[in-house]
Amino acid sequence: MPLTHTATEPLLSVRGLHVAFRMDEGTVHAVDGVSFDVHPGQVVGIVGESGCGKSVTTRAVLQLIDPPGRIAGGEILYRQGDAFIDLARQSPRSRLMRDLRGADIALIPQEPMAAFSPVHTVGAQIVEALMLHERLSRNAARDRTVELFRDVGISMAETRIDAYSWQLSGGLRQRAMIAMALSCKPRLLIADEPTTAIDVTTQAQILALLRDLKQKYQTAIIFITHDLGVIAQMANFVVVMYLGRVMEEGPVDDIFHAPKHPYTKALLRSIPSLQTEARTVLPAISGTLPHPFNRPSGCPFHPRCTDMVPGRCTTLVPALRALGPRQAVSCFLHGSEAEPA
Amino acid sequence: MQLDATVAAGAVEERIAVASNWTLIWWRFRRHRLALFSAGVLICLYIVVLCPDFFATQDPQQTDARQAFIPTQPLHLFDGGWNPWVPAIVGKRNPITLRMEWTTDPSRKTHIEFFTHGQPYRVLGLFTTSIHLIGATDPAQRIFLLGSDRLGRDQWSRIMHGTQTSMTVGLVAVTLSVILGVVLGGISGYFGGIIDQVIQRLIELLQSVPTIPVWLALSAALPRDWTPTQVFLAITVILSLVGWTTLGREVRGRFLALREEDFVLAARLAGCGRMRIILRHMMPTFLSHIIATSSLAIPVAIISETSLSFLGLGIRPPAISWGVLLQEAQNIQTLALAPWLLIPGLVVIVAVLAFNLVGDGLRDASDPYSH
Amino acid sequence: MTRYITHRLLLLPLLLLVYSFVIFVIIQAPPGDFLTSYVATLSASGTSISAEQIQALRHQYGLDQPFVVQYLYWLRELLHGNFGLSLEYRRPNADLIGEQLGLTVALAVMSFVLTWIIAVPAGIYSATHQRSVVDHVLTVINYIGVATPNFMLALILMWIAFAYFGISITGLYSPEYTDAPWSMAKFVNLLEHIWLPALVIGIAGTARLTRIMRANLLDELNKPYVVTARAKGLREWRLVLRYPARLALNPLVSTIGWYLPQLFSGSLIVATVMNLPNIGPLLLRALINQDMYLAGAILLIYSFLTIVGTLLSDIALAMMDPRIRMGM
Amino acid sequence: MSRLAQVAALSAFLFAVFAFQAGAQSKFHEAPALAEQVKAGKLPPVEQRLPEQPLVVPVVEKIGEYGGIWRRAFLGPADANNYVRVVYDGLFRFTPDGADIEPKIALGAKASADYKIWTIQLRKGARWSDGEAFTVDDILFWYSNVLLNKDLMPTLPSWTRNSDGSAMKVEKLDDYTVQFTYDRPATLFLSEIANQDGPDQTLAMFLPAHYLKRFHPAFAPKDELDRMAQAASFKSWTELFNAKAAPAQDPDRPTMAAWIPITRVSDQVFTLKRNPFYIGVDKEGNQLPYIDELRFTYFADQQALNLAAIAGDFDMQERHIQMTNYPVLKEQEKNGKYRVIIWPTFGGSDAVIAFNSTYTADPAIGKLLATKEFRIALSYAINRDEIKESVFLGLGEARQPVAAPWHPYFPGKEWATKYTEFDRNKANQILDALGLIKRDPQGIRLMENGKPATIEISVVPAFGAWPDVAQLVAKDWGAVGIRTIVQIRERALHFSMRTSNQLMTEIWNEDTTAFPFTGGSKFDPRNGPLQQLTVGPLYYRWLTSGGKEGVEPPEPQKRITQLVDAARSTGRDGQIKAAQELYRIWADDVYEIGTIGLTPMVQGVVVINSKMHNVPTTLGNDWPLRSPGNARTEQFFFAK
């Protein structure tokens, strides 16, 4: 049941995505029926605690899931011209995927430190992408890279491109990473917690930069984070995930001002805001995230849910239900149907 | 179905939550079926080490000129029902080539028994028994399951005794070099500075001196009146003297890395003594690693022993080791007459293989970052 | 980095001095001297040399001098760039070593090349196709390769060649070429013979190297930069070769220096078993016969090459890895 | 040995007459390669290269054909005797059966009636391999400048000594006649001369004076010599001279042998080519040798050498061939295109257990070792049949280390087989009678000091299957209550322990049994622990220090020294009598326990290319005979 939230055709439409990891101990359903759309020029924020499957979802889009994981079901529809291609059906090593990666869909990974090869200069790694997708000569690619560096606000760009990643500060590294991601003017940018590993001041600068660049390059962004504050600043549309399932999704205002799902509410309660009085203890979500092998029956959130209805919530899995034109939630409290077992 | 999996998973999780590091290692190790199987092989070999006489069919030094170069005698278990036997053989010297030639005598069978009485022996120096795993029904009859060598000694029994020597050499040598390596490497890595420099140069010196001449010199310098057994022990010590350097380096590296880690710092701030920090805090973090490395070092020691004995520089007859047995096979001409004398080589390969597989399995299992 | 290298080079003479003493102690450690073992050798055919003659020879060779005097004599000669005279061969040690050097190096280079051109691709394939049939097969071969003492392998191959083909595969040439001058035919003959010993010597190394390459590459393949590179849209094999394989090679490169002394010493046991004209057997023989200046010369060169090899390894590693280069 | 000497002189005379006739009647022939050089003017014609009276060498089967390369193997420079044995470059040589001595480079020899003066006749017109004349001066050069030079010869070899220890006199009678004068009867002179061919890297008794003078301080300026020595890394001129005088080390050094080295013994391939001036011809006047070239290929390992032999890589090789390989060699005869024959050794025993009668490290053991009855008991305890079957392929016979039955020195069957029957009861009885009655729980007899009787056999793995013998013997001795430990030792270690009186017993062979009076005979306790096994290093010290040090040897040992002295100055019959008595003492007192003898263990398994001819099927095989040199290798040839 695809949800439509705007009149425009989506750039990417994820439909009922399942990603499973088959391990010796059993199969882990890291992503379990996730659906959302990304429209051109829009920022979709995916939030959730670590291990909720947000990164895996975006890796699935790029077909970058390492064995033993694999896409077990669902569709990843990506629009090219007027047609949609189902990326879920493409072979990870296919020509099509390789052409998309870096050129159409780019990735800003989580840890800029480890995301660059330590034995190649940062510039060389960007030049490589340019030469590959834009068919530029080495010199032209180098000139482009210097430009890109300036664009992302790296001073002394000419010398910095010959630096190794470990010679750069965290902020510069992330800027360089952004430069690389944007090098081929992608239509979709996947930013996987781009600010987690860097300090707060730099974080703000990076977010500002991303916003500017989004305007400049007209790029759609999937923004993954566990930080609702960042989502508030960046996203147009929010997807809240828990244990591989979408709990709630909707425009950023609806999510922040009219959260429906108990999990969303709990998440929101846990962020400090200006309204919160100083020195109050922030309410944490009770309980711990269960082990992936130990997925609770019924609604995955029920063991930690304050509003849990014994019986129904503990045995049946609620399906995602559209509440309005753009907001949807999967919770029995909000009228979700039970998913077929 | 979903429900079942959930229940099972729940049980798994409960166990993981309470599992100690060692239990975790064991669980991970258990998953390597080859490693597990190899561990079984090693256990069998070490059972042989404990009491080779039980497995031997006869005295490994018993010679008989008229039973030289007997080929392997295949073991048959059934003879119209359970009645194990080996074919009887007759041999005579070829008058032209002077070679002992053996043929099976189809009219006769040598019947054998399990848990039979044979030559008495002492078990671990504790008590005397004469029960052997396998032996001819008629104790006067010799059987040669793996053939005999040029002096008519039973290769099967010799391999059992060789196993005792070679496996012990490997184990003892590695234990000693682990102790040396951990102590010196630990000191080097923990204290750093001049001590570290001195130990590091010592390691470099030891590593750059080729082993063979050191070996020659040391084994020649051993007291002359030592018996083969004493020489054997000394050689074990020498092997470990040469072998500790690699481990020493590794331990040092680990110590250097760990020294900077938060918990060591915390322990020091909390006023723990150095020794206590080393023993209580640092050691456990890489004990499993050391065990894995050691199990990979044992085969190296075994191959060293084999090679040196093969060159005639290591353990010497009448002591029996795999290397000594292989010395018989050094002679291509003997091999042409008696290819079964290569069997000890197979045993070496199996043992080394098993150690390597177990070592790799342990290493993978003990690495907390493995997936 | 230049400073670092200079520093290490300056340390070299001092290290060599220490080594020369250690070596001299080692070769002098066994009881008796060259003449004792010489008499023993002659005894095989009923010697007629008398105790007085032996004493005279001992004096002539300077073997009756105290240990320290002998060492200082040796050291003095070494400082004059003279490796001395072989007691057994009665010829300058430098000549003897020089004669064997060519083939020793040829054989070692051959086995080195075989090792690397087999091991690195095999390791890469194994790692990138983890748990495939080929990976399992390669792993089994590797384990067996590591587990088989190479003299065993030599013996088995020699025995097979002999038992089934009736040929002896010892030596590096057919007999007719052994002392023939160099020619195309002799070179071809050498190539026909050299690959087998090269393989025998290299096989354990190949197995070990494949295993290390596979393990290293598996580690590297899980690093985030591989994902980044993949997300760039690089072709898989190009990506593997350019990024993780390059990094996985680094630890191996650091062992390259260890090959240098091996190039020189040859594989002692295999060379002896297979009768290869090699420095290995020359050393073994010198040690057993207590031809101490020859053994000393070989060991000293060996130590020298070990030190230089370690240095070269460090330099190679620095060239491969900018993190180390910059850190120096 | 007077008969020998007379025979030698007589045969020399006969040969000379015969050779003279041969030379006068027929033209000589030569190898095609040489004929070409003659045609090219590089060599004088064959008639001028041969002496007036060439050595006429009888052929074993037939007159040979020229050509071919004789492929052999050697184990490096220490194996220089391999070369010495093949070329046997002596003035005289032993005949193939080893019973006689015949002239080779020399024309003949004659002794005075009292054997104090020996005259050697050289061949007129004989030439060194570089074409220079070979005359008495070459012997005098050796005498004056080598033998009497203290730097080169610090001590005189015993055969050159007068009874007072001074050197015998050597005088030139004319260019081709030289006279040796002793102050004692030198009855063994010819036997010694037949071994003065430069063995064991010593110098031969005739040297190319024209070549070596430039390396000798009597003829060359000292500073020039020092410069040459230093350039070759030698410390002194003596080292230089020794190197230059050894044919195997210096290809430029002319020799008289049938083949001359063109590379060195320290090379990978030690190559010799025919000597165009060799003095020998066959009875049809063909100059020898038949074979063009001799090629010794270096093997680092004896096993590899044997494998190559099995594969048929050698044309005639007996040295380093292990007897245990006989079956494989025999089975591969067809494939390898060779034949295998056996030359049993002259030696009386191929594995003897020698006892150190003066062992002092443990007095209780030492006392046992010195007790004759103890040794007798241990001799009875050995199951020789088992040793014969498993170590010697069933070849040879159980015997004590005395001369072979076909040899004049044979002391009689009674002594040859004395104490050799396997009789454990008898052994036990004797041991009981010695007071070794009490036993420990393992059944080991306790000595008078209460310790278990433990004997060590030291054995060197290099030369035979001796470690196997040792293990078999150890088992047998254990069975009569004497614990026996086998110590397999490196050669050098074993020898230094032997010299320092640390060995209890050892296993060696008795390979020069037929030569108890010449060379470094192992029976003479005065030859010391270098040659003589562990019979009693302290006896040696007593005998050589004039009774000041060491232990006084018992009567039988003293008697042996008297017998040796007597034999050196008595005639053939006296020597035979002395030898027989010596062997009876030897067997009676069991200084050594013989096990198996008269096998081909020591270089007695011969691999011969099917195409090679004139190799005798039986041969006296022993080191003093220089076998295969005494087979007259120059007449070996390849059939086309």
Phi-psi region of A223 (alpha: psi -120 to 50; beta: other; left: phi over 0): beta
Q: Where in chain D is the domain with CATH 3.10.105.10?
A: 349-597
What percentage of chain A exceeds 90 in pLDDT?
A: 0
What percentage of chain D exceeds 70 in pLDDT?
A: 94
* Residue D538 contacts residue D550 (beta carbons within 8 Å): yes
CA separation, residue C47 to residues B54, D239, D254 (Å): 49, 21, 25
- Residue C122 lies inside a defined structural domain of this protein: yes
pLDDT at B1: 34
Instruction: Determine whether the interchain pair B220/D486 forms a contact, defined as Cβ–Cβ distance below 8 Å.
Output: no
C305 and C323 share a domain?
Answer: yes
pLDDT at B7: 40
pLDDT at D376: 96
pLDDT band at A56 (very low <50, low <70, confident <90, very high): confident
Helix (H, G, I), strand (E, B) or coil at D533: coil
pLDDT at D176: 95
Whether residue B310 has pLDDT greater than 90: no
Instruction: Determine whether the interchain pair B332/C29 forms a contact, defined as Cβ–Cβ distance below 8 Å.
Output: no
Ranges A299-313, B21-35, D278-292, D323-337: which has the least confidence = B21-35
Q: According to CATH, what is the number of the domain D7-342+603-638? A: 3.40.190.10
What percentage of chain B exceeds 90 in pLDDT?
A: 5
C70 and C131 share a domain?
Answer: no
Instruction: Determine whether the interchain pair C99/D268 forms a contact, defined as Cβ–Cβ distance below 8 Å.
Output: yes
Whether residue B226 has pLDDT greater than 60: yes
Residues from chain B that touch D325, judged by Cβ atoms under 8 A, are 331, 333
C281 and C169 share a domain?
Answer: yes
pTM: 0.79
CB < 8 Å from C in window 237-296 of A: none
The tens digit of pLDDT for each residue in C269-291 reads 788 777 787 888 888 888 877 88
Chains touching B (3+ CB pairs < 8 Å): A, C, D
pLDDT at B265: 66
Q: Which helix (H) or strand (E) holds D589?
A: helix D572-589
Determine the average pLDDT of the residues in C77-91.
Answer: 83
Q: What is the dihedral of CA D42, D46, D51, D55, to 10 degrees?
A: 130
Whether residue B133 has pLDDT greater than 90: no
Instruction: Judge residue D209's burial from the number of C-beta atoms within 10 Å of its C-beta, 0-12 exposed, 13-18 middle, 19 or more buried.
Output: buried
**Minimal Cα distance from C52: which residue of D?**
D155
The whole-angstrom separation of Cα D620 and Cα C302 is: 48
The tens digit of pLDDT for each residue in C125-142 reads 988 887 788 888 888 888
* Bridging pattern class, strands D397-398 and D349-355: unpaired
Instruction: Determine whether the interchain pair C146/B342 forms a contact, defined as Cβ–Cβ distance below 8 Å.
Output: no
Determine the average pLDDT of the residues in D411-421.
Answer: 93
Distance (Å) from the C-alpha of residue B325 to the closest C-alpha of chain D? 13
Distance (Å) from the C-alpha of residue B44 to the closest C-alpha of chain A? 28
pLDDT at A281: 58
The letter for the amino acid at C268 is L
The whole-angstrom separation of Cα D635 and Cα D640 is: 15
Q: Where in chain D is the domain with CATH 3.40.190.10?
A: 7-342+603-638
pLDDT band at B327 (very low <50, low <70, confident <90, very high): confident
* Interface residue C237 vs chain A (CB under 8 A): no
pLDDT at D420: 94
CA separation, residue A294 to residues A22, B20, C126 (Å): 14, 19, 33
pLDDT at C251: 74
Helix B343-366 and helix C150-165, axial crossing angle in degrees, nearest 10: 140
pLDDT band at D632 (very low <50, low <70, confident <90, very high): very high
The total of other beta-carbon atoms located within 10 Å of residue D121's CB is: 22
Determine the average pLDDT of the residues in D123-146.
Answer: 95
- Which of the pair, D96 or D157, is modelled with greater confidence? D96
Whether residue B4 has pLDDT greater than 50: no
pLDDT at D415: 92
Ranges A18-22, D182-186, D207-211: which has the least confidence = A18-22
C105 and C215 share a domain?
Answer: yes
The whole-angstrom separation of Cα B174 and Cα B168 is: 10
CB < 8 Å from D in window 212-251 of C: none
Instruction: Determine whether the interchain pair C303/B209 forms a contact, defined as Cβ–Cβ distance below 8 Å.
Output: yes
List the structure tokens of A176.
Answer: 């360089």
Of C26, C149, C162, the CB nearest to B332: C162
- Residue C95 lies inside a defined structural domain of this protein: no
pLDDT at D22: 47
C238 and C155 share a domain?
Answer: yes
Rg (CA), chain B: 26
Residues from chain A that touch B369, judged by Cβ atoms under 8 A, are none
Whether residue A197 has pLDDT greater than 70: no
Of B213, B336, B352, the CB nearest to C27: B213
- Which of the pair, C25 or D178, is modelled with greater confidence? D178
Q: Which helix (H) or strand (E) holds D605?
A: strand D605-609
* Bridging pattern class, strands A69-80 and A12-23: antiparallel
What mean pLDDT is reported for chain A?
81
pLDDT band at B2 (very low <50, low <70, confident <90, very high): very low
**Chain B residues with CB-CB distance to D under 8 A?**
61, 63-66, 68, 93-94, 96-99, 150-152, 220, 224-225, 227-228, 312, 316-318, 330-334, 336-337
What mean pLDDT is reported for chain B?
77
Q: Residue ranges of the alpha helices (H) in chain B?
A: 2-18, 21-31, 33-50, 52-55, 155-191, 193-208, 211-221, 228-259, 262-269, 274-276, 283-310, 322-329, 332-337, 343-366
The tens digit of pLDDT for each residue in B246-279 reads 777 777 776 766 666 666 666 666 666 666 666 6
Determine the average pLDDT of the residues in D261-267.
Answer: 91
The total of other beta-carbon atoms located within 10 Å of residue B366's CB is: 22
Whether residue B66 has pLDDT greater than 80: no
Assess: ipTM above 0.95: no
CATH code of C105's domain: 1.10.3720.10
C252 and C109 share a domain?
Answer: yes
The whole-angstrom separation of Cα D324 and Cα D478 is: 26
pLDDT at B267: 67
pLDDT at B279: 66
- Residue C12 lies inside a defined structural domain of this protein: yes
* Bridging pattern class, strands D55-56 and D69-74: unpaired
Residue with tokens 């920022």: A43
The tens digit of pLDDT for each residue in C228-262 reads 888 888 888 888 888 888 888 877 776 777 777 77
Instruction: Determine whether the interchain pair C90/D249 forms a contact, defined as Cβ–Cβ distance below 8 Å.
Output: yes
For chain C, the first-to-last Cα distance in angstroms comes to 5
- Residue C94 lies inside a defined structural domain of this protein: no
C264 and C203 share a domain?
Answer: yes
pLDDT at B14: 46
Instruction: Determine whether the interchain pair B8/A341 forms a contact, defined as Cβ–Cβ distance below 8 Å.
Output: no
Closest by CA position to D92, among listed D76, D71, D106: D106
pLDDT band at B8 (very low <50, low <70, confident <90, very high): very low
Instruction: Determine whether the interchain pair A102/C250 forms a contact, defined as Cβ–Cβ distance below 8 Å.
Output: no
Instruction: Determine whether the interchain pair B9/A24 forms a contact, defined as Cβ–Cβ distance below 8 Å.
Output: no
- Which of the pair, D9 or D157, is modelled with greater confidence? D157
Q: How many CB pairs under 8 A join A and C?
A: 82
- Which of the pair, C213 or C155, is modelled with greater confidence? C213
- Which of the pair, D534 or B201, is modelled with greater confidence? B201
Residues from chain D that touch C274, judged by Cβ atoms under 8 A, are 304
Residue range of the domain that includes C130? 101-288
Determine the average pLDDT of the residues in D23-34.
Answer: 76
| Range with the largest mean pLDDT of A182-196, B322-336, D460-474, D560-574 | D560-574
pLDDT at D148: 94
C23 and C151 share a domain?
Answer: no
Determine the average pLDDT of the residues in D481-485.
Answer: 92
Chains touching C (3+ CB pairs < 8 Å): A, B, D
pLDDT at D562: 92
C262 and C298 share a domain?
Answer: no
pLDDT at A279: 56
**Minimal Cα distance from B204: which residue of C?**
C307
Whether residue C304 has pLDDT greater than 90: no
Mutate to test the interface with B, among A29, A289, A294 (most CBs of B within 10 A): A294
- Residue C237 lies inside a defined structural domain of this protein: yes
C253 and C141 share a domain?
Answer: yes
Distance (Å) from the C-alpha of residue D544 to the closest C-alpha of chain C? 11
> Domain D349-597's class?
alpha beta
pLDDT at D49: 94
pLDDT band at C115 (very low <50, low <70, confident <90, very high): confident
Whether residue C94 has pLDDT greater than 80: yes
Whether residue A40 has pLDDT greater than 80: yes
Number of domains in chain C: 2
Determine the average pLDDT of the residues in D299-323.
Answer: 87
Helix (H, G, I), strand (E, B) or coil at D293: strand
C282 and C296 share a domain?
Answer: no
- Residue C96 lies inside a defined structural domain of this protein: no
Instruction: Judge residue D581's burial from the number of C-beta atoms within 10 Å of its C-beta, 0-12 exposed, 13-18 middle, 19 or more buried.
Output: middle
Instruction: Return the bridge partners of D287, or none.
Output: D281
pLDDT at A151: 81
DSSP string, A326-338: S-EE--GGGTPPB
Q: How many CB pairs under 8 A join A and B?
A: 27
The letter for the amino acid at C80 is H
| Backbone φ and ψ of D398, nearest 5° | -75, 125
pLDDT at B273: 67
Residues from chain C that touch A128, judged by Cβ atoms under 8 A, are 232, 234, 242
The tens digit of pLDDT for each residue in A218-256 reads 888 998 888 888 888 888 899 988 888 888 888 888 888
What percentage of chain C exceeds 90 in pLDDT?
A: 1
C205 and C232 share a domain?
Answer: yes
- Residue C13 lies inside a defined structural domain of this protein: yes
The whole-angstrom separation of Cα D581 and Cα D251 is: 47
CB < 8 Å from C in window 88-147 of A: 93, 97-103, 106-107, 109-111, 114-120, 125, 128-129, 132-133
**Minimal Cα distance from A298: which residue of B?**
B3
Instruction: Determine whether the interchain pair C29/B345 forms a contact, defined as Cβ–Cβ distance below 8 Å.
Output: no
- Which of the pair, B231 or D249, is modelled with greater confidence? D249
pLDDT at B257: 65
Ranges B227-231, D79-83, D473-477, D629-633: which has the least confidence = B227-231
- Residue C318 lies inside a defined structural domain of this protein: yes
* Interface residue B16 vs chain A (CB under 8 A): yes
Whether residue A82 has pLDDT greater than 90: no
| Range with the largest mean pLDDT of A157-171, C155-169, D120-134 | D120-134
Whether residue D3 has pLDDT greater than 80: no
The total of other beta-carbon atoms located within 10 Å of residue A334's CB is: 16
